[in-house]
């Protein structure tokens, strides 16, 4: 049995993951027979207690380090990416596999240092936005790839909701969703961005070697989608995300079984580097390279 702990119960993702792993379906079957959330740490006590009461978690930790020796893996779901590294590092130092919710961190230098430590210690890590795993994104990826292979892809525009002034590290809180969907659909070799902001909506031109795409971080929008422009026609895809939490859990348990990361360390933190470049472009008004 894989014993999993969660830090960051104030995030609704925490109780969602606990329900997926700890509660059986209507037929009495567990999604994964050999993985359970066994302990949680708030630091918000009310949300931690709710998870215990609703999902049968065994204990609430008094402090993060109390998990060591009691768990086989950790999920860091704290809303602020700026605290992820400090929570993750003690577990990384003892070789405990990690899930780091979006954003992996809210600083590219910190993200790089964290991944370097994971690489040095050979600790498997996954995380970021679950939106890159959405089933509705797969047809977008397939269409873009097919058009590019035929030399018929022109450009695309994709959107996802954002709260530019979020109390949880501002733009970093929601921006990973669209950023990682775009990286999945168009490639991780995005080289630069040029961005502007109006009324909380950020429009960014993401530049690749042979095409550009428009990323629309839309304030207050209820629907995400992608419009793909091809030489012989255009296609619009709505992108729902109701399946992403189950997909994240499945990928995490698979990683625990095999040690195989869904993404290599460099791609796992690419969204942090893109978001940082967008913020820099907003400040300078200039096209900004995305640094590795």
Specify if 234 maps to a domain.
Answer: yes
Reply yes or no on whether the pLDDT at 29 is more than 90: yes
pLDDT given at position 195: 99
CA distance linking residue 46 with residue 10, whole number of Å: 8
For 215-272, what is the HEC assignment? Answer: EEEEECCCCEEEEEEECCEEEEEEECCCCHHHHHHHHHHHHHHHCCCCCCHHHHCHHH
Specify if 165 maps to a domain.
Answer: yes
Distances (CA, A) of 69 to 3, 4, 77, 91, 252: 10, 11, 20, 10, 20
pLDDT tens figures, 52-82:
999 999 999 999 999 999 999 999 999 999 9
CA distance linking residue 106 with residue 123, whole number of Å: 21
Together in a domain, 124 and 40? yes
pLDDT band at 235; cut points 50, 70, 90: very high
CB atoms within 10 A of CB 283: 10
pLDDT tens figures, 266-277:
999 999 999 999
Together in a domain, 168 and 88? no
pTM for the structure as a whole: 0.97
Together in a domain, 99 and 181? no
Q: What percent of the chain has pLDDT over 70?
A: 100
Together in a domain, 155 and 124? no
Together in a domain, 154 and 184? yes
Q: Write the CATH number for 26.
A: 3.40.50.720
Together in a domain, 218 and 180? yes
Cβ proximity of 167 and 225 under 8 Å: no
pLDDT tens figures, 138-196:
999 999 999 999 999 999 999 999 999 999 999 999 999 999 999 999 999 999 999 99
Cβ proximity of 195 and 203 under 8 Å: yes
pLDDT given at position 191: 99
Query: What is the average pLDDT across 32-47?
Result: 97
Specify if 49 maps to a domain.
Answer: yes
Specify if 268 maps to a domain.
Answer: no
Together in a domain, 141 and 237? yes
Together in a domain, 170 and 280? yes
Q: For residue 2, what are the β-bridge partners? A: 35
pLDDT band at 292; cut points 50, 70, 90: confident
The number of folded domains in the chain is 2
Reply yes or no on whether the pLDDT at 100 is more than 90: yes
Q: What percent of the chain has pLDDT over 90?
A: 100
Q: Write the CATH number for 222.
A: 3.30.360.10
pLDDT given at position 130: 99
Domain that holds residue 192: 132-241+273-289
Cβ proximity of 171 and 162 under 8 Å: yes
Average pLDDT, whole number, for the chain?
98
Query: What is the average pLDDT across 106-133?
Result: 98
Specify if 235 maps to a domain.
Answer: yes
Together in a domain, 37 and 114? yes
CB-based contacts of 45: which residues, under 8 Å, 6+ apart?
A: 60
CA distance linking residue 128 with residue 247, whole number of Å: 13
Together in a domain, 121 and 259? yes
Cβ proximity of 211 and 152 under 8 Å: no
Q: Identify the CA nearest to 118 among candidates 259, 9, 252.
A: 259
Together in a domain, 116 and 214? no
| 46, containing H or E segment | helix 45-55
Q: For residue 182, what are the β-bridge partners? A: none
pLDDT given at position 161: 98
CB-based contacts of 42: which residues, under 8 Å, 6+ apart?
A: 8, 9, 10, 48, 60
CA distance linking residue 104 with residue 37, whole number of Å: 21
Specify if 202 maps to a domain.
Answer: yes
Specify if 160 maps to a domain.
Answer: yes
Specify if 206 maps to a domain.
Answer: yes
Together in a domain, 205 and 137? yes
């Amino acid at each position: 049995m894989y014993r999993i702990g969660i830090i960051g119960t104030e995030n609704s993702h925490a109780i969602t993951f606990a329900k997926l792993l700890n509660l059986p379906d209507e037929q009495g079957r567990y999604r994964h027979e050999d993985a359970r959330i066994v302990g949680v740490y708030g630091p918000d006590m009310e949300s931690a207690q709710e998870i215990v009461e609703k999902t049968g978690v065994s204990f609430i930790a008094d402090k993060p380090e109390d998990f060591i020796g009691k768990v086989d893996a950790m999920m860091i779901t704290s809303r602020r990416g700026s605290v992820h590294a400090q929570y993750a590092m003690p577990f990384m130092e003892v070789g405990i596999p990690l899930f780091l919710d979006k954003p992996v961190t809210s600083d590219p230098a910190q993200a790089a240092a964290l991944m370097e430590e994971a690489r040095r210690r050979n600790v498997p890590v996954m995380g970021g936005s679950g939106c890159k795993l959405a089933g509705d994104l797969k047809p977008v990826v397939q269409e873009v790839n097919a058009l590019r292979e035929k030399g018929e892809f022109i450009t695309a525009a994709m959107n996802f909701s954002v709260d530019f002034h979020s109390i949880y590290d501002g733009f970093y809180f929601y921006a990973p969703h669209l950023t990682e969907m775009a990286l999945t659909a168009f490639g991780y070799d995005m080289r630069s961005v040029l961005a502007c902001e109006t009324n909380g909506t950020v429009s960014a031109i993401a530049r690749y070697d042979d095409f550009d795409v428009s990323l629309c971080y839309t304030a207050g929008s209820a629907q995400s989608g992608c419009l793909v422009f091809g030489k012989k026609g255009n296609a619009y895809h709505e992108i729902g995300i109701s399946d992403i939490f189950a997909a994240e859990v499945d990928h995490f348990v698979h990683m625990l079984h095999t040690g195989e990361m869904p993404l290599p360390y460099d791609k796992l933190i690419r969204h942090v580097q893109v978001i940082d470049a967008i913020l820099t472009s907003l400040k300078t008004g200039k096209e900004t390279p995305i640094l590795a």
